[in-house]
Chain A
Amino acid sequence: MSNPTNPTRPGWSQPPTQLPPQPPKRRQRGKIIALALLTVVVLVAIVGALASNTPKATVTATSTPATSPADTTPTEGSAASDTSAAPAEVATGKVGDTVTTQASDTGEKQAEITIARSSSRAAPSSTSPRGASTWAPM
């Protein structure tokens, strides 16, 4: 019986066991580091180019008038609500109350307006068909 696995037997040739020459590990590591550095440099260059070409965002401040064209403040002794804190606020009250109007640009007081009283007396029937008969005095 022959032993094919016996390489020492005369007549058998050794299988080719030569491998490609391996570069030294130090050289391989250097290549990897150089490639990484190059990648970083390229990335930095790309990011820089993009940043310089990107248009800067523009914020435009739009000013709006802080006050309405006319605002009101209650008159002393009036039962009207306090509107002096918020110029655009609507003064509310009841009949008998007084409001003071102000110029929006200068803040100068313009007038005191009072609804002194109201009456539910009906209009003449020719102009108000609903008539007085259905309304009671206030």
Chain B
Amino acid sequence: MGAYVTVRALADNVSTPWGDIYATVNGHHHDGDACCPEFGPSLDYVNLNKGEHAEGWLAFDVPSRHGQLVLRNASDNSKIAVWTF
């Protein structure tokens, strides 16, 4: 599945959560895949300054249409936000 992510920086030097979003389906953890050119443009890993924004697709190879997308904290791996899809 693909998730279209938009990021708007509210401060300087904010990186996009390129590797900090993963999917869970039935408790299974699925990291994003660097695949799937049809899910383009992809969300790139960039640093944004205040007012800048970035957007793009993140692709996940999951076995179901329903699950969760999780934004994690890169420093301690804790969950920040969960989206249901």
Contacts and interface: CB of A to CB of B under 8 A. Distances in A.
A70 B73 contact: yes
Interface of A: 68-72, 80, 88, 90-95, 97, 99-101, 103, 108-121, 123-124, 127-128, 130, 135-136, 138
Contact of A115 (B9, B14, B65, B83): B83
Interface of B: 1-11, 14, 17, 33, 35-39, 48, 55, 59, 61, 63, 65, 69, 71, 73, 75-76, 78-85
A111 B4 contact: no
Given A111-B14, A116-B6, A123 B61 contact: yes
Contacts of A119: 1-2, 4, 39
Q: Is the interface of B mostly helix, strand, loop or mixed?
A: strand
A128 B76 CA distance: 30
